[in-house]
Chains A and B, each alone.
Chain A
Amino acid sequence: MDLKRVLVGIQALTFFSTKKLLFGSKAVITVLVALFVAAVMVYAGSQSNNPLEDGTNLMDTLILFFFMPVMAMIFGSSLIRDEIDDKSITHVATAPLDRAFSYLGYYLPLGIATAISMVAISTVGWLGFFGQHGVGPDELGIYLEFVALVVIGSFVYSSLFLAISVLFSKPVMFGLFYAFIWEGYIGSLPGAIQNASVKHYLRSLGSEWVKFGDISRWNQASSASSSALVLLGVTIFFLILGTYLFREKELA
């Protein structure tokens, strides 16, 4: 294996696809979501008497709970699938780069682009809420903790939705089901069933870090170390699954 060739190929794909995701047609969705989040958080901030608690709860429910899986689904379920459908994947599939590495060249830009979008959305929301009440060390801490959570979430969800996009010919349908029904509903049910969602482990990590809001008092959280291990395991599992499916896939 020519390592240099592999690294140059992955780097080229990462640069190309990150640019495409961040500045292509999907950029409009990021802007619209950011505007929506800003509007909600500015209004909520103006009505809040306990900004540290209320602001943290909004960052948790609106951004981490809802938009995190949705944005990853929007980016992830279309990246490879769109290229397979419009056949623009041909230039990658006919390059001298093993498909296992090409898959990594799709995963990295997906994770990076999702993370950048989510950090931008989180920043806008955080500024919209806390900017009205003054920013101190506690507010800055909340921001950094949620930024860390959305960055981790971006890479975990990206591995999942990218594998889905290789596995299914209509990944958006399955992605919508997963993001809204599984993560949104099953992930918020009481009892052990919620442990079967990515969100549970992200919030578990958050409950260790964040000192305000409902998340800090969440009594169903798994331990931080086991949550980190599960998230890492899920990411690796879906990366291996996606890589295998992509290598075996016939591009007719």
Chain B
Amino acid sequence: MTSQENGPMPIVQAQALSKWYGQVIGLNGFALRVIPGITGIVGPNGSGKSTFFKLILGLIKPNAGSISVLGEIPWKNAHLHSSIGFCPDFESLPSDSTGREYLTLIGKLQMMHGTALSKRIQEVVKLVEMDRAIDRKTRGYSKGMKQRMKIAGALLHDPKLLILDEPLSGTDPLVRNDLIDLIKMLNKDHGHDIIVSSHVLFEIERMTHNVALVYRGRAVASGDISEIRNLMDRHPHNIIIEGERVTALAKTLLDQDYVVSVAFNDNKDSLTVQVSKPDDFFNGLPALIDKTQCSVSKMYSLDDNLEAVFRYLVGR
């Protein structure tokens, strides 16, 4: 669990950590203890998740408080990066390069070379199922392919700790399922400790039950997800689905007992689905898409119900 002082040696420990950018507060008295395994960092957009990751990586320095990663202070500690793999939430792939060129650069920066590097590149692209697209320019990749390639880059040097910032963001439901399976496998079969962020609690729940909730720059709760989940289940969950021929999907969704309402947005290619049991919805959606033969290009969850829970947690 993330909050107890006893138990296994923490991989990340933040104490009274604060970071602000001029007038904007990124983190404010942030305290968190992350133990080995998969830990989910959940919070609305702008809550401080990415700031926390940048502090873990030493990309920025704290204004107050302290942070240690694998027992070391990350700011100006390049050596620590041999033990960390990072998949950012933004597009960081060089667009003029192929996947192989990108991974070769990453590998060489990690002091890998020759046949060992080539072999490792083949291993990781196979693991993330990008082996057939490795020699294509990254600018031609879909969102899901870019996410996979970024994860491959993070995995290449076989780091102890993987930091995945919103890895499911903007991907379609099938890719989402694949990525969730991949993240679980990286922990279970390959032994990587993983810190993964999302603004959707139910996505994180499918990877781990060990969660920290971040809101307005603070870790407002951490621990087993079930308590938080019960709280969230009392708030209907809004999900946007975009794609082609989603009218048939809308009709089918209305027949499901976990769906509260379905409404079209500005056009017939976009739906807002309100669900009472997000778990059932996410598990059942791929079969419904298959059954209705629609094409879903994008799916994302609105923060509004999470905001309500966070407001409750911080007593506002």
Contact = CB atoms under 8 A, between A and B. Distances in A.
Interface string B51-65: 000100101110000
Interface in A183-197: none
Contacts of A94: 57, 59, 81, 84, 86
Interface string B105-131: 110111101000000000000000000
Nearest to B96: A24
Given A94-B59, A250-B61, A252-B54, A5 B111 contact: yes
Nearest to B21: A252
Contacts of B104: 12
Interface in A1-55: 2, 4-5, 8-9, 11-13, 16, 20, 23-24
Interface string A76-116: 00000000001110111111111100000000000000000
B132 interface: no
A251 interface: yes
B94 interface: yes
Contact of A91 (B21, B82, B153): B153
Contacts of B153: 91
A116 to B, nearest CB: 18
A251 B59 contact: yes
Interface string A199-232: 0000000000000000000000000000000000
Contact of A13 (B76, B82, B90, B109): B109
B81 A87 contact: no
Given A95-B81, A97-B78, A252 B110 contact: no
Interface in B79-106: 79-82, 84, 86, 88, 90-94, 96-97, 101-102, 104-106
Interface residues of B, number: 33
A137 B153 CA distance: 53
Interface in B188-217: none
Contacts of B54: 251-252
Contact of A247 (B76, B82, B106): B76
Contacts of A8: 108, 111, 113
Contacts of A98: 78
Contacts of B106: 91, 95
A90 B92 contact: yes
Contacts of B79: 96
B49 to A, nearest CB: 14
Contact of A88 (B59, B84, B92, B108): B92
A12 B93 contact: no
A94 B57 CA distance: 7
A135 B57 CA distance: 58
Given A20-B94, A88-B92, A251 B81 contact: no
A2 B82 CA distance: 13
Contact of B108 (A2, A12, A23, A90): A12
Given A90-B86, A250-B59, A252-B54, A95 B92 contact: no
A103 to B, nearest CB: 12
B60 A96 contact: no
B86 A97 contact: no
A16 B100 CA distance: 12
Contacts of A96: 78-82, 109-111
Most buried by A among B109, B110, B153: B109
Interface in A118-140: none
Nearest to B80: A96
Contacts of B21: 252
A166 B242 CA distance: 41
B108 A9 contact: yes
A81 to B, nearest CB: 15
A135 to B, nearest CB: 37
A1 to B, nearest CB: 10
Given A24-B96, A87-B88, A252-B54, A97 B109 contact: yes
A92 B109 contact: yes
Nearest to B89: A87
Interface in A238-252: 247, 250-252
30 contacts: A5-B111, A8-B108, A9-B108, A9-B109, A9-B111, A12-B104, A20-B96, A23-B96, A87-B90, A88-B92, A90-B59, A91-B102, A92-B109, A93-B59, A94-B57, A94-B59, A95-B110, A96-B79, A96-B80, A96-B81, A96-B82, A96-B110, A96-B111, A97-B109, A98-B78, A99-B76, A250-B60, A251-B54, A251-B59, A252-B60
Interface of B: 21, 54, 57, 59-61, 76, 78-82, 84, 86, 88, 90-94, 96-97, 101-102, 104-106, 108-111, 113, 153
The 4 closest A-B pairs by CB, nearest first: A12-B108, A95-B109, A96-B82, A96-B81
Given A87-B91, A95-B81, A95-B109, 16 more contacts: A8-B108, A16-B97, A23-B96, A88-B92, A90-B59, A90-B88, A91-B92, A94-B57, A94-B59, A96-B78, A96-B80, A98-B78, A250-B61, A251-B60, A252-B59, A252-B60
